[in-house]
Amino acid sequence: MDSTSAMPESAARVARLLRELGHDKPVVMLPSTGKSSAEAAAELGCDVAEIAKSIVFRRLQDDAAVMVIASGADRIDEAKVAALVGAVGKADARFVKDKIGYAIGGVCPIGHLQESVVLIDGQLLRYASVWAAAGHPHAVFNLTPAQLQAMTGAPTVDVRQNPA
Q: What is the pLDDT of residue 1?
A: 36
**CA 106 – CA 50 distance, rounded (Å):** 16
Would 122 be classed as within a structural domain?
yes
Would 77 be classed as within a structural domain?
yes
Q: CB of 99 within 8 A of CB of 113?
A: yes
Residue-number span of the structural domain to which 151 is assigned: 3-157
pLDDT digits (tens, 9 = 90+) for 96-143: 999 999 999 899 999 999 999 999 999 999 999 999 999 999 999 999
Q: What is the pLDDT of residue 92?
A: 96
How many domains does the chain fold into? 1
Residue 12 CB neighbours (<10 A): 20
CATH for 15 = 3.90.960.10
Would 164 be classed as within a structural domain?
no
Q: What is the pLDDT of residue 2?
A: 47
Q: CB of 67 within 8 A of CB of 116?
A: yes
Q: What is the pLDDT of residue 35?
A: 73
pTM: 0.93
Would 162 be classed as within a structural domain?
no
pLDDT at 4 over 90: no
pLDDT digits (tens, 9 = 90+) for 90-101: 999 999 999 999
Q: What is the pLDDT of residue 163?
A: 66
pLDDT band at 33 (very low <50, low <70, confident <90, very high): confident
**CA 131 – CA 49 distance, rounded (Å):** 10
pLDDT at 67 over 70: yes
Which residues are bridge partners to 69 per DSSP? 54, 120
Q: What is the pLDDT of residue 93?
A: 96
Q: CB of 134 within 8 A of CB of 141?
A: yes
Residue 76 is given by DSSP the state B
**CA 30 – CA 52 distance, rounded (Å):** 16
Would 163 be classed as within a structural domain?
no
* Of 55-59, 61-65, 144-148, 159-163, the least confident: 159-163
**CA 115 – CA 18 distance, rounded (Å):** 18
